[in-house]
Amino acid sequence: MFQFVFSREYCTNNIRRKWKEFEKTLGCAEEGHPSLGDPDWASYTLGVFICLSCSGIHRNIPQVSKVKSVRLDAWDEAQVEFLASHGNDAARARFESKVPSFYYRPTPSDCQLLREQWIRAKYERQEFIYPEKQEPYSAGYREGFLWKRGRDNGQFLSRKFVLTEREGALKYFNRNDAKEPKAVMKIEHLNATFQPAKIGHPHGLQVTYLKDNSTRNIFIYHEDGKEIVDWFNALRAARFHYLQVAFPGASDADLVPKLSRNYLKEGYMEKTGPKQTEGFRKRWFTMDDRRLMYFKDPLDAFARGEVFIGSKESGYTVLHGFPPSTQGHHWPHGITIVTPDRKFLFACETESDQREWVAAFQKAVDRPMLPQEYAVEAHFKHKP
């Protein structure tokens, strides 16, 4: 059968003309919000427009999605009509009809793994059309083996992990036949965030919890991308159900932002001690909500120390630069955090680092403290 092929110019103009009828759907179908500009790629089997980054993921599932460039490829009339009669909103209505509230929807700034598994879950596995396919992360119980980094030797070893909502905990065991877990991480104080660059594996996940009111990190991964993302969403599900009980009047929209959090800022700075006469030492810093933690190495299990960043109403201030006569720093760009009890001095290597750290600190200082944060602040003040 003869198939008429449109010129690229006709294709582009025709798609644009038809697509203007669906302006609300303009943007990448996977990013959850309109792009600043029109996306230049489309799946002519799913009927969606996508950005360049997501087009690469779609190409990896050709049995489901076939992709063309709007500007560079030739299109036939049936493909143009299919796009015009479907669209991003229609695809979301079908393929995202039953996304659980707790399931993490990736943003353009998230790692490749999260974005890839979101797209595969939608179209390849159709998990959000058929809720029975969500069992791996919605059942309230999960166990399996993950590669965990040793606290002391830095080696990744296979460890058994068990997540149980009934007990409100994530546990791991050093031996397969061990009766007692090596660690019990309460869901109440647990966070998980993907850290592929830091961990050195594309599926690397950092899990953080409180032990004796101090932060403890563990670093894990699984060779199968779906497995580690299922673990991540299972942890979010457990947190969601815990918070539903703890805050019975709260809406899903109130609870979802509390399920997991990315760090406000991470990187190296120099710091000095409380007397400000000691030499400055290079440390890895992590800004986690109001906790500023510093480590000798980014993959340390425990922080060397933590600083609580309160609000301006409670007497906290962030300043560019150092107090006069400050000495001992190698890096030139200083930051001073003034608290009700003392000043903390930090040095950044570049002006852009200084600007980013000040913005992260200022974000915390400008935000009024919640009632429970005053209890955290009191603990920091009474630390030995």
| 5-96 against 265-382: fold identical | no
- Angle formed at CA 193 by CA 192 and CA 197, multiple of 5 degrees: 140
Q: Token pair 């500007």 is at which residue?
A: 71
Confidence of residue 36 (pLDDT cuts 50, 70, 90): very low
Position 1 confidence tier, pLDDT thresholds 50, 70, 90: very low
For the chain, how far is it from start to end, CA to CA, in angstroms?
Answer: 82
Say if residue 285's pLDDT is above 50: yes
Backbone angles phi, psi at 182, to 5 degrees: -70, -35
pLDDT > 70 fraction of the chain, expressed in percent and rounded: 90
Task: Report the CATH number of the 265-382 domain.
Answer: 2.30.29.30
In this structure, of 16-30, 42-56, 115-129, 175-189, the range with the lowest mean pLDDT score is: 16-30
- For the chain, give every domain's residue range: 5-96, 139-251, 265-382
The answer on pLDDT for 277 being more than 80 is no
Residue 93 in tokens: 């209505």
pLDDT at residue number 151: 86
Sign of CA dihedral 190, 191, 192, 195: negative
Averaged over 17-44, what is the pLDDT?
A: 66
- pLDDT tens-digit series, residues 215-271: 899 999 999 999 999 999 999 999 999 999 999 999 999 999 999 999 999 999 999
Fold of 5-96: Annexin V; domain 1 (1.10.220)
What's the confidence (pLDDT) of residue 10? 57
- In CATH, 139-251 is 3.40.50.300: no
pTM: 0.88
- Assigned token pair, 358: 């000040």
Is there a contact between 307 and 285 (Cβ–Cβ < 8 Å)? no
Q: Which residue has the tokens 């300043």?
A: 319
pLDDT at site 2: 37
Query: What pLDDT was estimated at residue 34?
Result: 52
C-alpha of 274 from chain center: 33
